Amino acid sequence: MKKFRLILTILVVILFLVQYSIVKADIFYLDIFGHWAEHIILWATNEANLFNGYPNGTFRPDDSITRAEYITILYRAAMEK
């Protein structure tokens, strides 16, 4: 019983550490989970305020961005303190 409790505790701690970046994010996108840039997108959205997703809750990480989106990102980066 003690061994089972120890394994369960270790598993809970590992799951918490793996999901920590998702737990602390204010804004989530439905289509970035498992994407190679997931942590960067969450950082740039929640901490750096560089990105905004689309109104339907997606980010579309594999799509190309438009010129207007690129200029908006550059403007936000320049205005960041």
List, for residues 16-62, the tens digit of each pLDDT value: 666 555 556 678 788 998 889 988 998 888 888 888 888 888 999 99
Cα 24 from Cα 75, distance rounded (Å): 26
Our measurement of the distance from residue 43's CA atom to the centroid of its chain's CA atoms, rounded to an integer in Å, reads 6
- Say what the pTM is: 0.63
Other CB atoms within 10 A of residue 28 CB: 14
